Structures are given as C-alpha cells and as structure tokens.
Amino acid sequence: MAGLITTTIFIPLLGAIAVSIWPRGNFRGVALIFTVISAACALGLWRDFNTALAGLQLVERCPWIPAVGAEYLVGVDGLSLLLVLLTSLIIPFAFLAQPPPRGGRAFYATMLVMQSALYGTFTAQNFVLWFLFYEMSLIPAFLLIKIWGGENRDYAATKFFLYTFLGSVAMLLSFLGIYFAKQTFDFAVLASMAKNGLVPGNVVWLAFAGIFLGLAVKVPLFPFHTWLPDAYQTAPTGVSMVLTGVLSKMGVYGFVRLLLPLFPNEIKIIGPWLLALAVCSIVFAPLAAWAQKDLKRMIAYLSVNHLGYCMLSLFAVAASPVVAARIDTDAALSGVFMQIFSHGITAATLFYFAGLLEQRRGQRGIDDFGGLMQRTPLLCGWMSVAIFSSLGLPGLNGFIGEFLIFKGSFAIAPGFAAIAVIGLFVTAIVFVRAMQSLFSGPLAESCSAFPDLLPVEKLVVVPITLLMFAVGIAPQFIFNIFNTTVVQMARLFA
C-alpha cells in the first residue's frame, strides 16, 4: 500500500489524467479538486511529522533499478516538509489567480504534472529518483512558457530550456562520476563519506563544478540568472507565480541537500568567491530592477535579489574559515528556511497583483498607470501589504527571514553582509518608486474605468495576506517544522 508521501506525489498525476479525459466543462474546477486533495495529504504529512526528531521521517523505500544503484526512496525532514507545504499553498493560489487560458485542458494537466514533479523533487532521497523528478518539473515549465506565454515566448522558453538543460547535464555527469567512485546514489550515505572526499584528486573539483552549475542556474545565482527575467515576464500570471514561488526554491534546496553536505572542504576553499557571487545577486539585481519599465520584469529581478539573501547565509555558514558560534549558525540557517517560505508566498502575491493590473489595463508598464489609489483603494492597499512584506517590514513574514539571515551573516562574514545591505536600500527605492508611479499622482485617463478588487479576487488576496501577517506576528508554527533540521545541519559545520 502506498504511503502518504507517494500518495501526495501521484494524486496530481491522476488529476492530470482526469483533466485530459474530462468531457467539456470546468477544467479548472477539476484541477482544483485534485490539487486540494494533494494539499490535504501534505497537511497529513505535517500532522504525522514529529517535530522533536531530527533526520528523515515517514520514509518509503523499495528496490527500483538495483543494477545502477537506484531505488525508490522518499522521506521528509523539516526542509522537505516546508517546501511540500509551500507547493501545496502556491499551486491552488496560482489556479485561482490564472484566468482560464486557451486550451485550458492541456494547461491545467501540465500544471498538475509540474506539481507532482515538485513534490517528488522535495522528497526524493536517491539521486536517480531526485533527478527524474527534477527534470520532470522543467519540461512542464518549458511548455507552459512556450505555449501559453506572451510576447517573445519562443525566445524566453528556448533560453529557459538551454540554461536548465545544460546545467542538468553538468550535474548528471558529476553524479555519475561520484557513483563510479562510491557505488551509491543515496544522499545520506554520500554525505557521510564527504569529509574524506567523494572522488580522488582534482577530479573532485570537476564534480563540484558540475553540481554547482546545475543548481546555480536554477536558483538563479549571479551571473547565471539572465534567463529568469525573460521567463517570468513572458509566462502567464499563474505560471509566473509557480516559477518564483516554488520552482526557484529547487535550486536553494539542492544547495542545502547536495552541494553543502557533499563538498564541505571545497566550499571552504573557494568560500570568498561564492560569497562574492551571492553579494552580486543581492546588489546588482535591484539595480537592474530599478532600470525596468515592465512591472513583471521588475519583480523578477527583485526575486533574484531575495534568493541571493539565502545564498549569502548558506555560503557564510559553509565557507567560514573558523567554526562559527552555534547561535549564529542556527540563526543563519533558520533565516534561510524562513526566507524560502516567505519569499514564496510574497513573490507569488506580487505577480498576482501584476496580473490583475495587466487584466484591467491590457499593459503592465509601470508608467502605464497613475493615481490608482483614487480609483482602486482596496487593490492598492492589499498590494502595498505584499510590497512591504517583500521589503521586510516588521510584523510581516518577510521581516523574520531577512532579520535572521543578516543576524547570522554579520556575525560570520561581516564584510560581505555589510556590502549586501546596499541591496536592501536599493530594493526599497525600487518599490517606493513603483508605488509612487502606480498609486499616486493624478488618475491616468486610461485607468478611470478600473474596477476595484472583485469578490472572487478578494477570496484569493485576503487569505494569503492574512498568512503574511500570521507568519510575521507569530512565526513559531513555521519554526517548529524545521528547528530540529537546523540543529542537525549546524552539526555539519561544527
């Protein structure tokens, strides 16, 4: 009998089949039913997960391809569960936010396949299985951009495919080299061997470079980020929400699950260079956002900036030449996990509001609007909450992760953290400028007939915004999910 994790993974696939054979009708409704069922299974995982225990829980294991060391091995720790819950939150949010597109049957089936792949990526504990789910998530993303994207969708989809495909090939070759040396694909077993080196001699640097490239493209980390603005700008609203809310977290998850445990010695050697790349992501991305006229493209660059905070904290902890104080390590890692969750819901919400403005105006240039506060005060008010959350305003979810990241990073790598603060200031300037252009000044003639938030839009906006306040005011229910995982991870760097 399938366990709860397997059920969670495969219910969206069943939903994709159901949508594909469903007679003419409400395809979105059918897709929502299956994604809600899978979300209920994810909540069941949360219920059964023992937050007092470290390590993998609810493990399901069976032979698959013994000849190549592949087995069906899934399980969850605090980080995996957090990302499963985030996926369960963002996908229904995206379904409700996305107006039914042309070819709705294929669109919703493809989205459900991607949801299944995301669940698998965050729970698989054997590289072959993990890589299968990892690639399985990229193909639907490519199709969603290519088929249902806007202007320049062919260019954006091709660029997305080339970057991710080349990164995936490099990562696959690296893991094949590790397998030939160690005869296992099991993440936990490989991590236990890592202190003594996974492959002999300088070949380890080739293995490190391949895995690093594959994950850096997915985060994306500067300078591997150039595919992201085009993909996010072109993708439909619901797809942009999933790309930024969940898919980008696969890269950060891969760094935590693969690169840091498997290459601790190499990361310490090139630590300053890795920290420099993280700082570049934090500082250069908002500067690029400042120059954008397209609202979605601006939010896309700021997404690079916020994920750069995660990489700054991870590299600071892993690359520190001396053992950091336990409290600083715990703060830095907790900040990464909280930032992953908070950025997921905040960035997805910002893309939703950008989609609402585009639906009303037919365009999404920042200068295409003006004086919206006079016409749509509710839309402006709720959108402002999401913006302030992204800025890290105390009382909202964005503050918790950023505060802990900088608290830990300043103690471990103060020079790099000090430079990264510039990114905070530039991000604030970019958002304030956007709010002034969109909300203030005289009402633009083209916006004079705009409706305020509709009842169905309120049903989407209000719950997700209330969650931002809940996490910002009482975040302990999120911390409880991953506290023991943070403690376990901190021992790797002791």
**Residue 80 placed within a domain:** no
12 pLDDT exceeds 90?
yes
CB 337 within 8 A of CB 438: no
pLDDT digits (tens, 9 = 90+) for 62-105: 888 787 777 888 889 888 999 999 999 999 988 888 777 776 78
Chain centroid to Cα 294, Å, comes to: 22
Number of folded domains that form the chain: 1
Helix (H, G, I), strand (E, B) or coil at 493: coil
What's the whole-number mean pLDDT along residues 160-182?
Answer: 84
**Residue 442 placed within a domain:** yes
What average pLDDT is seen over the chain?
A: 85
Q: 413 pLDDT band (50/70/90 cuts)?
A: confident
pLDDT digits (tens, 9 = 90+) for 368-391: 787 788 888 888 889 899 999 988
pLDDT at 243: 87
Angle at 403 between CA 402 and CA 409, to 5 degrees: 85
pLDDT at 1: 39
pLDDT at 438: 84
Q: 364 pLDDT band (50/70/90 cuts)?
A: confident
CA distances from 445 to 25, 61, 305, 362 (A): 38, 62, 34, 14
491 pLDDT exceeds 90?
no
Supply 150's token pair: 């806007």
Residues 147, 148, 150, 154, Cα dihedral to 10°: -20
pLDDT at 163: 86
**Residue 276 placed within a domain:** yes
**Which class for 467: exposed (0-12), middle (13-18), buried (19 or more C-beta within 10 A)?**
middle
Return the DSSP state at 449. T
Q: 185 pLDDT band (50/70/90 cuts)?
A: confident
What's the whole-number mean pLDDT along residues 30-51?
Answer: 90
pLDDT digits (tens, 9 = 90+) for 258-273: 888 888 888 888 888 8
Residues 394, 397, 398, 402, Cα dihedral to 10°: 80
What distance separates the 2 farthest-apart alpha carbons in the chain? Answer: 70
207 pLDDT exceeds 90?
no
Q: Domain range for residue 369?
A: 270-494
**Residue 323 placed within a domain:** yes
**Residue 293 placed within a domain:** yes
Angle at 77 between CA 242 and CA 47, to 5 degrees: 85
**Residue 482 placed within a domain:** yes
pLDDT digits (tens, 9 = 90+) for 285-312: 889 888 888 888 888 888 888 888 888 9
What's the whole-number mean pLDDT along residues 148-165?
Answer: 84
Quote the CA–CA distance of 274 and 319 in Å, as a whole number: 8
CB 35 within 8 A of CB 15: yes
